[in-house]
């Protein structure tokens, strides 16, 4: 219809219906109309496609906005949770620091206590010192953990406490003053404070106690009968009774 209108318009302006070269006068108009029709068809196609895609884009945009809102809510929740966890983490870090400080202090005290026990060993009764050989040897290991060091320190202290509360008697090899080789004697310990060593063959008694440089033995002349009686009572070979034996107290232990 538009082509007919353009043809009529051109005819009204006096354009000839037939050109001299034999071509129809309407060919250029038809070309213009054809191009216009193509452009219009493409425009309609694009507009139709846009309308279809616009709905999809609007739907996608709505979904993305909802997702963004959900993510924003999750972010707030996460930040709130993270703040609480950071606070708990800070508290745990402070507790760990305090625990490390306490552990270091306890380790240092255990080390000093172990050194004191090692220094005290020469003043222990020989029987007790020999019985603690393994514990003392283990305590000298510098790579001990605090728990292991505590175990050996506790073992030594407990054994010393038990020994000090009891009367212990038995045969024991001793190196006496003025001698280089040990001799087997009967020894009775009165706790960890003092002891009596009885040489039945030689008929001599030696009094043992902590001295200036450690545990020492010294002759105790005149105490043979009372010490022999004391040992007999301990071994249930005599009736219990009061026995007078020599003793003295010394404060020569190390500080």
Could you tell me if residue 179 is inside a domain? yes
Using CA of residue 217, residue 223, residue 229, residue 233, what is the dihedral sign? negative
For 126, other C-beta atoms within 10 Å of its C-beta total 19
In this model, does residue 131 exceed pLDDT 90? yes
Residue 60's pLDDT is what?
83
Label residue 13 by pLDDT band (50, 70, 90). Answer: very low
pLDDT tens figures, 230-251:
999 999 999 999 988 888 766 5
Could you tell me if residue 215 is inside a domain? yes
Residue 21's pLDDT is what?
52
Q: Can you read off the two tokens belonging to residue 155?
A: 């073992």
Beta carbons within 8 Å of 193's beta carbon, 6+ residues apart: 164, 209, 210, 249
Label residue 9 by pLDDT band (50, 70, 90). Answer: very low
For the ranges 12-16, 92-96, 228-232, 250-254, the maximum mean pLDDT occurs at: 228-232
Residue 37 main-chain phi, psi, to 5 deg? -65, -40
Residue 239's pLDDT is what?
92
Could you tell me if residue 81 is inside a domain? no
Residue 187's DSSP bridge partners are 170, 197
- For 190, 192, 237, 250, the CA distances from 162, given in Å and listed in that order, are 12, 9, 25, 21
Could you tell me if residue 181 is inside a domain? yes
Global pTM value: 0.61
Kindly report which listed range (7-11, 33-37, 109-113) carries the lowest average pLDDT score: 7-11
pLDDT tens figures, 170-200:
999 998 888 889 999 999 999 999 999 999 9
pLDDT tens figures, 141-167:
888 888 899 999 999 999 999 999 999
pLDDT tens figures, 58-75:
888 888 888 888 888 888
Could you tell me if residue 225 is inside a domain? yes
Could you tell me if residue 42 is inside a domain? no
Label residue 10 by pLDDT band (50, 70, 90). Answer: very low
Label residue 16 by pLDDT band (50, 70, 90). Answer: very low
Residue 32's pLDDT is what?
81
How many independent structural domains does the chain possess? Answer: 1
Could you tell me if residue 248 is inside a domain? yes
pLDDT higher at 1 or 128: 128
Could you tell me if residue 183 is inside a domain? yes
- Residue range of the domain that includes 231: 166-255
């Amino acid at each position: 219809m538009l082509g007919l209108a353009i043809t009529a318009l051109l005819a009204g302006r006096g354009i000839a219906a037939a050109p001299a070269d034999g071509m129809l006068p309407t060919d250029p108009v038809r070309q213009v109309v054809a191009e216009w029709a193509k452009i219009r068809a493409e425009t309609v196609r694009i507009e139709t496609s846009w309308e279809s895609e616009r709905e999809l884009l609007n739907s996608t945009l709505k979904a993305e906005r909802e997702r963004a809102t959900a993510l924003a809510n999750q972010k707030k929740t996460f930040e709130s949770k993270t703040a609480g966890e950071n606070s708990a983490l800070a508290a745990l870090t402070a507790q760990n620091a305090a625990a490390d400080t306490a552990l270091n202090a306890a380790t240092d005290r255990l080390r000093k206590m172990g050194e004191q026990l090692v220094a005290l060993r020469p003043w222990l009764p020989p029987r007790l010192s020999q019985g603690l050989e393994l514990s003392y040897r283990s305590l000298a290991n510098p790579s001990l953990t605090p728990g292991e060091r505590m175990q050996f320190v506790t073992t030594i202290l407990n054994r010393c406490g038990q020994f000090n509360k009891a009367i212990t008697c038995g045969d024991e090899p001793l190196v006496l003053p003025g001698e280089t080789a040990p001799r087997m004697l009967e020894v009775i310990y009165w706790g960890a404070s003092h002891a009596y060593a009885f040489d039945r063959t030689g008929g001599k008694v030696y009094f043992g106690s902590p001295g200036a440089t450690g545990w020492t033995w010294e002759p105790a002349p005149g105490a043979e009968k009372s010490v022999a009686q004391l040992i007999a009572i301990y071994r249930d070979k005599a009736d219990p009774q009061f026995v007078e034996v020599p003793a003295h107290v010394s404060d020569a232990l190390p500080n």
